[in-house]
Chain A
Amino acid sequence: MRKLKKSLLIKLHLYAGIFTSFYLLAFGLSTLILNHDLKVEKHDIKEKWTKTMDFDRNLPDRELGRAIRDKLGLMGWVIGWNIERTDEELKFTVTHPGRDYHIVANLDDGSIVVSEAPKGFIAVFHGLHFFNGLVPNAPFLLRTWALYQWLALFTFFVSLVLGLWLWIKYNYHPWEGWTFGVLALFTFIIMLLI
């Protein structure tokens, strides 16, 4: 009975761990990137294309940016703080964790120039830390990331608690308990001091 219980707990710990392992990799890498303020995003323009379309020039800048984004079928947020408008054109950026679209819309003839800057794999992997899937114009699959994130956190918690339980119940050594107990207390105190 005891062996059966142990085996079941190990399996549960394992299943929960496997489910959350990819999220942990992204979270771990991202923690290091943030802590050292590493610049991992690439900004080089890799592709440039044009399109002509009708749009309502009387809309406020950001609304017009969103309207153009939607007509172009692009996924991402319109960044509010770098919109530039003159009598002739509207310049703005649409962004998501994997790509920036720098857009110049000619307000006279309706021509749009889109310059694409992919951010690169590491930036995307790092971006999963903050990503909740709720990007404008994102497909359903991407929107499910919010659910995956919620479940990954929950299963990580379950995995952690089960792992600690298995250690205490079946593999506990007093020196480990003391060493890591003191370290845990120390960490907690530092958390209170900042």
Chain B
Amino acid sequence: MKKGTNFYTVTRKVHLYAALATAVLVLMYIVTSYMMIYYDFFKTHESREHTETVAINSTNFSENNWQKFMTKHDISGRKVAEYENDNDDLVRRYESTGEITTVTFDGEGRSAEIRKQIKSAGGKIVARHRMRGYGGPWQYNLYAFLLDMTGISLILFAITGVIMWLKILNHNRIAWIIFISGLAYVSVVIGYLLLV
């Protein structure tokens, strides 16, 4: 009896703490999911562009000089791509939740074109839903860690929630109907996508 009680208590605590630890991110996900569903209303795909060309001495920046360049030209976010375009010009792209900045250095290392795609207010909010992965400045790594915690928490929510239901309201007919209908529906959708 005591063993059962302990298991239930632990399950309940895991369920609660998984929810509390990630509630802010989960709420953000829910709100931004609806914003993405109604993207026309929230104008999440809209942005405005700003381009300027600046003089430089060389494309061979030291890390320190590059940071100064970024600060001077207000380039925010983390580097998401670096490549050579069709003209063999070096291109660096930076992305934050507010803007996407593409810096294209001319082949002779005399100028750099800085093109900023500044997101709408809705786009900035939704960008937090899309932001993912480790790398870049510390806050991005911390955010990625929180996303990992959220992913694990969501799985824990679901599993511990079902375990608790089986413990508390095992004989509740409505709960069984919801559970079996949900399982059947999701299984049919997955099965169809797998087979067709």
Closest residue of B by beta carbon distance from A176: B20
Given A97-B193, A141-B188, A145-B189: A160 in contact with B23 (beta carbons within 8 A):
yes
**Could you say which of A26-34, A48-56, A106-114 contacts chain B?**
A26-34
B146:A15 contact, CB within 8 angstroms = no
Least distance between A156 CB and chain B CB atoms (Å): 6
Task: Decide yes or no whether B158 CB sits under 8 A from chain A.
Answer: yes
Given A18-B182, A190-B142: A153 in contact with B20 (beta carbons within 8 A):
no
What count of chain B residues pass the 8 Å CB interface test?
Answer: 64
Which chain B residues lie closer than 8 Å to A99 at the CB level?
193-194, 196
Report how far A188 CA is from B165 CA in the complex, Å: 31
0 or 1 for each of B121-159: is its CB under 8 Å from A? (1 = yes):
000000010011110000110111011101111110111
B178:A19 contact, CB within 8 angstroms = yes
Report how far A156 CA is from B16 CA in the complex, Å: 14
Which chain B residues lie closer than 8 Å to A187 at the CB level?
22, 24-25, 146
Which chain A residues lie closer than 8 Å to B182 at the CB level?
18-19, 21-22
Given A22-B183, A190-B146: A10 in contact with B24 (beta carbons within 8 A):
no
A142:B192 contact, CB within 8 angstroms = yes
B128, B140, B154: the one within 8 Å of A25 (CB)? B154
B151:A139 contact, CB within 8 angstroms = no
Q: Which of B25, B97, B154, B188 neighbours the largest number of chain A CB atoms within 10 Å of its CB?
A: B154
B139:A193 contact, CB within 8 angstroms = yes
B96:A183 contact, CB within 8 angstroms = no
A75, A164, A190: the one within 8 Å of B143 (CB)? A190
Report how far A42 CA is from B154 CA in the complex, Å: 25
What count of chain A residues pass the 8 Å CB interface test?
Answer: 61
Report how far A188 CA is from B128 CA in the complex, Å: 11
Which chain A residues (95-111) contact chain B, with CB distance < 8 Å?
A: 96-99
Given A19-B178, A194-B96: A27 in contact with B154 (beta carbons within 8 A):
yes
A28, A34, A141, A190: the one within 8 Å of B155 (CB)? A28
A148:B148 contact, CB within 8 angstroms = no
Which chain A residues lie closer than 8 Å to B22 at the CB level?
187
Report how far A131 CA is from B190 CA in the complex, Å: 11
Report how far A1 CA is from B131 CA in the complex, Å: 46
A31:B147 contact, CB within 8 angstroms = yes
Which chain A residues lie closer than 8 Å to B188 at the CB level?
141
A164:B23 contact, CB within 8 angstroms = yes
Which chain B residues lie closer than 8 Å to A157 at the CB level?
27, 30
B162:A180 contact, CB within 8 angstroms = no
0 or 1 for each of A139-183: is its CB under 8 Å from B? (1 = yes):
101100100111001001100100110010001000010001001
Task: Decide yes or no whether A86 CB sits under 8 A from chain B.
Answer: no
Which chain A residues lie closer than 8 Å to B175 at the CB level?
14-15, 18
* Pairs across A and B, CB under 8 Å, 28 listed: A11-B174, A14-B164, A14-B172, A14-B175, A15-B175, A22-B183, A24-B155, A25-B155, A27-B154, A28-B154, A30-B151, A31-B147, A35-B132, A35-B133, A35-B134, A37-B133, A75-B196, A97-B193, A121-B194, A125-B190, A153-B30, A156-B30, A176-B17, A176-B20, A180-B20, A180-B23, A183-B20, A194-B131
